[in-house]
Amino acid sequence: MCAMRNQSLRAHLTQRLPKKILRLLRQVGALADKQGVALYLVGGVVRDLLLKRENWDLDLTVEGDGIAFARLVADRYRAGLAVFERFATARLAFPDGLKMDIATTRRESYAQPALLPTVQPASIEEDLSRRDFTINAVAMQLNSLQFGRLLDPYGGQRDLGARMIRVLHAGSFQDDPTRIFRAIRFEQRFGFRLERATVRLLAQAAATNLIQQLSGPRLKNEILLLCAEHDPVRAIARLGQLKLLRFLHRRLCYTKNVKRMVAAVPKALVWWARRFPDSAIDRPIVYLMALSSESGPAVVATMIRRLALSREQAKRVNTGGRRVDYALKRLTDKGTARPSQAYRLLADFSDEVLVLLLAKQVSKQQRVGLNLLKRRLVAYMKNRTIKTALTGRDLQAMGLEPGPEYKTILEKLLDARIDGIITTEADERALAYRLLKKSILVDRIS
């Protein structure tokens, strides 16, 4: 993209904004005039305006007291407001659903590499100088007279044109190693290249133990964001190429099979979404499971701890191991004939694990097994909505004393329902009586 003249650039930037947002930005710009503060739209949203990509994450920054200004805007528009004093930022939620972040222009100093910086108010130029890459160190002024004026002190437009990711200074990755992952994220998302000195600096930083010093939640955030990109397969391959996967665990097995499996995830996700649109999948977790699919349980457990995954996420990732292989073997075997057998193999798995199962089979490139598995997954998703008419209370009423038999009998009833052997409540009762009378249960019913 050639650097545009200021006037046509203003028109370009403002025309790209949806009318509703443009109106709001002009209004808050006028409010900033009244308050005597300079106001800017800043960072990724401006980058994406220049790239003609949709992104309405409205990041605003005020040369002055950002929080006070945010309060004013919140009052004026009856927007919800959350204030983060430590970072001099506030988040607004407008009644129509629009979100906006308002910050104070600031300088950051890193007392220690890889830790969060301390912040002090500063000019917009200084604020831009603390940003990660030239393409993100851009701002658009919102005050009425200067509305649409682009601030680009580090050649962000030039680098967008050259399709390049470039850090602003040599210590950038050291200050904040999350930028290593951000660099890959933007590189892959836009199909850009890392500028030559930037690659060298990134490799240098990656060769140290800086990333180890990142807190679990910060590392997790970056990894999950990468895995949430439109094409995580390329981003993960790039992590592998740059030897960054060792920061998940130094013994993570990134074998050919794992690569094939990661590469198969998008296909599995597409099939799943088409078949089961109501099942919302935590996609990054599926990639993480695929990535750790050939690593032992101890490695996976340590990775889960390192990434500070939530209990729910950890549970999902944890089930990815051997049980998946066993289930897959049985489910791609014609001998596993009864629907209830398939049900029992799958019942403990989260939907993410089911997608993983599918991805694993896709990666094996065996059509017959894959078709069989798909049919069984479809049947399973239907069967798992089936419930027994009888409950534990009914069994109690039949005279069964409390004990583990409750579960066994209810499971047998459900299996029989799933297999179509019984269809009505009366059938269930009859079967329950037969089961109750059998073997050891006989002396426990009154």
Alpha-carbon distance of 9 to 5, in angstroms, equals 6
40 vs 349, beta carbon nearer ligand ATP: 40
β-partners of residue 141 are 40
Q: In the bound complex, what is the minimum distance in angstroms from residue 82's beta carbon to ligand ATP?
A: 16
Phi, psi of 233 (to 5 degrees): -60, -45
119 vs 252, beta carbon nearer ligand ATP: 119
67 vs 413, beta carbon nearer ligand ATP: 67
- Write the CB contacts of 128 (distance below 8 Å, at least 6 apart in sequence): 42, 137, 138, 139, 151, 153, 154
Placement of tokens 């037969």 in the chain: 434
Q: Which residue is nearest to ligand ATP (CB)?
A: 44
Neighbours of 334 (CB within 10 A): 8
214 vs 289, beta carbon nearer ligand ATP: 214
Question: Which string of DSSP letters, residue by residue, matches 403-446?
Answer: STHHHHHHHHHHHHHHTTS--SHHHHHHHHHHHHHSGGGGGG--
Q: In the bound complex, what is the minimum distance in angstroms from residue 139's beta carbon to ligand ATP?
A: 9
Nearest to 318, CA basis, from 300, 298, 335, 334: 300
β-partners of residue 140 are 41, 150
- Chain residues binding ligand ATP by CB under 6 A are 43-44, 55, 57, 59, 131-132, 136, 176, 178-179, 182
205 vs 410, beta carbon nearer ligand ATP: 205
Q: In the bound complex, what is the minimum distance in angstroms from residue 389's beta carbon to ligand ATP?
A: 50
Placement of tokens 């890459």 in the chain: 133
- Write the CB contacts of 49 (distance below 8 Å, at least 6 apart in sequence): 12, 13, 16, 17, 55, 140
